[in-house]
Chains A and B, each alone.
Chain A
Amino acid sequence: MLLEGRDITKAHGTGEGRVEVLRGVDLAMRPGESVALTGESGSGKSTLLHILAALEPADSGHVSLGGQDLGKLDDRGRAALRRRDIGLVFQQFNLIPSLSVADNLAFQARLAGRHEPHRIAALAERLGLTSTLSRYPEQLSGGQQQRVAIGRAIAARPRLLLADEPTGNLDEASADGVLELMRELVAETGAGFLMVTHSERLARRLDRRLRLHAGRLA
């Protein structure tokens, strides 16, 4: 099993302001599998994604990636896991504005010690970014920026690609293109792919769909 989560709980706030976001979530993913995580706003989708990405810890429960228990990792260990095994794609792209497209594409691969220039060049061509490599993020359209973010995540050869509303800022046609690209790339690398989305239409195009409702998987 690539990813396994058991009885994950998470709450935000304290006292009367305490909100239980996740109330015992169980999930599992195999390598190469693509999964859509849907649910209404506030259902806990992003929180679950952050916990699976080792960005924040669960209050209780167990999460493991490739057999590694995330709960036993300290900050440095979690950082190393994100660097080497996880690719993240955000709704807001989160590119580094002062780096060129080429540098952004290569960035996580360099962090992970897996920088392969020819692979970056191939990815850029695949993503349709060859002509924009020397530009800066602010000079690109939203769709182009998201493709750079995907390329950055894939270039590091992650075992798991996590995407939080990656098409939320894109029109329908661009969104379809971006999703198709992600599917193809993860299929080529054999990575698992979990995508948080509001769109039922996009969710249907992945292998499996999980629906989060009131902090539990429905």
Chain B
Amino acid sequence: MSGAGQSPPAPPSPTDALFRPVMAALLSYWLRQPLQLLTLVLGLALATALWSGVQAINAEARASYARAAAVLGQDQRDSLVPTVTGGGVDLTDFVRLRRAGWRVAPVIEGELPPDIGRLSVLGVDYLSLPPPDATAGEAQGVIPGEEAAPTYERAFAAPETLATLAPTARAALPPLAPSDMLPPGLLLTDISVAQRLLGRPGAIDRLIVLEPPAVWAPPLETLAPGLRRVAAGSALDGAQTGGVGRLADSFHLNLTAFGLLAFAVGLFIVHGAIGLAMEQRRGVFRTLRALGVPLATLIAALLVELLALALVAGLLGVAMGYGVAATLLPDVSATLEGLYGARIAGGLSFRPVWWLGGLAVALLGTLIAAAGALAQVVRLPVLAPARPRAWAMASRGGHRVQALAGLGLLAGAAATARWGAGVLAPLAGDQPGRLLAGFSLLAMLLLGAALLLPTLLGAGLSLGHRLTRWLAPGPLREWFWADTRQQLPGLSLALMALLLALAANIGVGTMVSSFRQTFTAYLDQRLAAELYVTARSDAEARAIAGWLAGRADAVLPLWRAEGRVATPAGPRAATIYGITDHATYRRNWPVLTALPDAWDRVADGTGAMVNEQLWRQDGIGPGDALNIGGAPLAVVGVYSDFGNLEGQVLISPPPLRARYPGAEGRRLVVRAPADAVAGLTARLRQRFALPPAALIDQAALKARSLRIFEQTFTVTAALNALTLSVAAFAIFTSLLTLSQMRLPQLAPVWAMGLTRRKLAMLELGRSVLLAVATFLLALPLGLLLAWVLLAVVNVAAFGWRLPMQLFPADWAILLALAVVAALLAAAIPVRRLARTPPTTFLQVFAHER
């Protein structure tokens, strides 16, 4: 051995020579703590799974919408549509436009009768607008050569659509060919075939403008005054498209909010696991620093370690997210189609947008969850006490800061509820501003309540302790309360996660149940008539009405026109209905507010009823004068109108027809004895050769509406259950890790004569107590959440408000679930405690020498 004086001067350590042993020392911790590693990775993976699963669904849906919008380049081309809804494009107008130099292509759209299949049909003129495969490699609009001729006999659909077609449906359709360019649920065919399939020979719904008209071409107003030009992007369904898009966007926004909530719950787990790992390695950090590891190297190594773990967990989470999305997508697909008419593919693609996003969120989430712990390491003096302070035993000051932050957020929530929409609406636009205010309110409420939770639970446990001392004193009972309170800091993160999950369950559950109950009552009111008939023309409607006159109790023609009403914010598109005065409306219509003689004034043509969208969003209410079709009419009442986004007005038929001469009168509302409906329907179908879709009986319509409703909330229920599972996992991991640190606290009690079994039972009781206490705090929070969803977010997103109803039976079930989750989470740690060998307890005393 050589002395210091003789030893050659040490070369400076290369960075990697320093980094590698530090990294090895850090990573070796996880090899010795596999359960903790599993907790961290699984927690992050679960959080990522829910987030990326929801994003995968959204990405799939958006891709489907984009495909739908891009069919035949419609997203880039203007359309010419009738100024009056239901009127259709006159063939002479089409011919006149073509002759005048307008390059336009006729289009017909519609739904196939259900007996063929649930398909939308888009019929185009293949000559001027070739189908997808015929246009490959060619400029749009070029007439294909002879070799493409057979194409014109074919219909095209997406492969997944073709796969779902029944043989009977195939038999009713022309030869089919697959096309990847089409959205699911759409059949593209030549216009003549489409007219035949839809039973509308010669009909044209709109014209697509293929090229700008020649400069010398006369203007549209001169050539075809019955048509108006609609800008590209809103062509698929005229005025409805924007509404569908916004509704579907709201649905996706809700899904995203749920995904974010689940991710936040998952982050609590990650935060806890990382915090524990950091805390337990404080001694190692001190030793590393004392042995000459610079702080920057230590932090860099910790970051590399965390990001490597996050990457592994993120990949696992993305894979799990794919599973979640694949499971939920059929329900989401059915919901979007049923509610909003938006079709999305049933299959799931592995799109970079969501799996890369999932990974990024996992990495970012880990850094957020670890930020506090890393900051502690940065501040850690080299000579910090090597003994790990009890994990998460945050100082009293820390708790106070946390509680104050919670109170601040709740105050912010109150301020947002009062002034948020007023401040944000001018900045972000009216509806986005109000939605933003609603979601900000939700976020502040949830986070504020979560931060306050430890303080509130601590106060509750103190009260319990005092009451026990006063009412039923006993050393064991008192120790139980005091010890539970001491465990609180270590469990607080998991309990916060549970609070969020429970509150979300209560809030969303209350909203859904309120929705269901109100919706059922609403259907009973709105669908009071036994049969609804839609004729192919006004003349046919009159003939049907004549035939029904002696066979039904009442036949009420329903007139309809698309128009504009003047609102304080400017003209707004609205559907104007002309209703025939009858007890059906007077007794059943869901009126929210009305003048005393409202129905009389509607009947005599001097009054109008508006739906709540016009009332809530545009401020039009009873007593106002509403300009409809160029002439004012007094608003005499407001009725609820769920599921609709557009404005709607009810007036008497004469003023409707006076204002809108082209209003259609193809619909009939038929009152008949319930037992006569089936026979009447069959005879009507036979007598007038009506397609099945033209006759809708009340029971079938209600059943369909309720089925769509239930489908909608299947996804919500699944996400609710998953979020609760993540929270249960958080409790499990916290209890498990705490149980490893509990021995020094339990050993003295054991030594004083308490059996291990008794100790285990007390641990179980503690879990249940904390779960119940958290539930009691989650209940008001959840109800507040429901109120925000119903009275703020819903109104901002859809324009209608639901009355909030309470469902105590649901709460009882949720409480039972919370207790079961706590018992399950505590089972393994408690079992481990009950089987702890006495020698392990004795080691506690040995180590304290």
Contacts and interface: CB of A to CB of B under 8 A. Distances in A.
Given A55-B290, A108-B291, A32 B25 contact: no
A173 B790 CA distance: 77
B299 to A, nearest CB: 12
B28 A111 contact: no
B28 A98 contact: yes
Interface residues of A, number: 43
B550 interface: no
A47 to B, nearest CB: 10
B21 interface: yes
Contacts of B12: 80, 113
Interface in A34-87: 50, 53, 55-56, 75-76, 79-84, 86
A188 interface: yes
Contacts of B17: 110-111, 113
B292 A112 contact: yes
Nearest to A100: B28
A103 B4 contact: no
Interface in B137-180: none
Q: Max chain A CB contacts within 10 Å: which of B31, B289, B381?
A: B289
B3 A190 contact: yes
B284 interface: yes
B231 interface: no
Interface in B586-622: none
Contacts of A160: 4
Given A110-B17, A110-B21, A113-B14, A82 B292 contact: yes
Interface string B287-298: 111111111100
B472 interface: no
Contacts of B284: 96-98
Given A107-B291, A189-B1, A112 B386 contact: no
Interface in B268-300: 283-284, 286-296
A147 interface: no
Contact of B291 (A76, A83, A92): A83
B745 interface: no
Interface in A98-130: 98-99, 103, 107-108, 110-114
A82 B1 contact: no
A165 to B, nearest CB: 14
Interface string B7-38: 10011111001101110110011011100000
Nearest to A149: B287
B295 A75 contact: yes
Nearest to B30: A98
A136 B10 CA distance: 30
Given A96-B28, A97-B284, A110-B21, A188 B1 contact: yes
B290 A94 contact: yes
A149 to B, nearest CB: 10
Contacts of B92: none
B562 to A, nearest CB: 73
Contacts of A113: 10-14, 17-18
Contacts of A94: 283, 286-287, 290, 386
Contacts of A86: 292
B383 interface: yes
Contacts of A32: 3-4
Nearest to B33: A98
B5 interface: yes
Contact of A111 (B5, B293, B386): B293
Given A55-B383, A82-B291, A114-B10, A190 B25 contact: no
A22 interface: no
Nearest to A159: B4
Contact of A191 (B3, B294, B295): B3
Contacts of A136: 32
Contact of B290 (A80, A82, A99, A189): A82
A88 interface: yes
A190 B28 contact: no
A24 interface: no
A108 B21 CA distance: 9
A202 interface: no
B457 interface: no
Contacts of B283: 94, 97
Contacts of A76: 294, 296
A157 interface: yes
Contacts of B381: 56
Nearest to A77: B294
Contacts of B296: 76
B686 interface: no
Nearest to A95: B287
B116 interface: no
A133 interface: no
A90 B6 CA distance: 27
Interface in B171-230: none
Interface of B: 1-7, 10-14, 17-18, 20-22, 24-25, 28-29, 31-33, 283-284, 286-296, 381-383, 386
9 contacts: A94-B287, A96-B287, A96-B288, A98-B28, A98-B33, A110-B20, A160-B4, A190-B2, A190-B6
Given A79-B292, A98-B32, 4 more contacts: A83-B18, A83-B293, A108-B292, A157-B7
Q: Please list the 6 inter-chain residue pairs (A to B) with the smallest Cβ-Cβ separation, ordered nearest first.
A: A190-B3, A83-B292, A82-B292, A188-B1, A98-B28, A113-B13
